Amino acid sequence: MKTKPVILIFALLLFSSCIVKSLKPFYLTQHIKFDKRLLGDWTTGKTSTWKITSFKDTWEKENKDRSKLSEDELRVYETYKDSYFVVYNKSDKEGQFIAMPFMVGDSLFLDFTPVEYQSEELNALAAQHLLKTHSAAFVDFQSDGNIKLRWLDQSVVSKLLEQGKIRIKHEVTGIDEDFVLTASSEELYRFLEKFMASDLENKWDTDTTKTLTRVNAKP
């Protein structure tokens, strides 16, 4: 997709707490399922907005003549055509993401990965050292029409690992000692299945949750 440069400082992330990051996608292609209920303009506060569109529709508007596209561009389209293109803006700082919808049992999840990030304080060499990792958010549809996006919380997963209740490949790496899952997509998906089936208390009651309210929603 042809995207405009965006400002996204990952040290700020989306939250005060840390979301669980992975080198590999959390989904398996056979479980991908697009849900139109997520489309539209949303807000999570006075200074936060979310615009969620179909990746396919956004791509086709920007690339009307497919004959001019390279093989790599067509491959990207085929890979992400069933995903969403998400523009998240908080306090005039914008982030652009691809969010792939997939089912874990009867639950809908989104696999988030940034499309592009840029900062005036970040030079080209520094940018090449940054990885575009994946995160997983449980889509919790509310009866009032709101949507809670509940990301896996690092503190919850780390505690389970320390207690020996789960086993999954991970590393703590870098100067900032970042916690990153290194398991395969198959292992990550099985982990989500077990996590959803567990009776772990307060597993979603963390700061890594955003409540989306549709813009101009009727009271």
pLDDT in tens, 115-143: 865 555 667 777 777 788 999 999 999 99
Instruction: Show the beta-strand stretches assigned E in the chain.
Output: 21-22, 40-45, 48-54, 84-90, 93-104, 107-116, 135-141, 147-151, 170-173, 178-181, 209-214
Q: Beta strands 40-45 and 135-141: pairing type?
A: unpaired
pLDDT of residue 4: 46
Residues pairing with 194 in the sheet: none
Instruction: Retrieve residue 145's tokens.
Output: 């029409």
d(CA 112, CA 52): 12
pLDDT at 207: 85
Tell me the average pLDDT across 79-105: 94
Query: Exposed (0-12), middle (13-18) or buried (19+): which is 66, by Cβ within 10 Å?
Result: exposed
Q: Would you say the pTM of this structure is higher than 0.85?
A: yes
DSSP assignment of 16-55 equals SSPBPEESS-S--GGGB---GGG-EEEEEETTEEEEEEEH
Question: pLDDT tens, 158-216?
Answer: 989 998 888 999 999 888 888 999 999 999 999 999 999 988 888 888 889 999 999 98
Q: Once rounded to an integer, what is the mean pLDDT over residues 86-113?
A: 94
DSSP state of 190: H
Stronger pLDDT, 3 or 96, i.e. the higher one: 96
Residue the block writes with tokens 């849900």: 35
The confidence score (pLDDT) of residue 119 equals 57
Give the Cα separation of 202 and 190 in Å (integer). 20
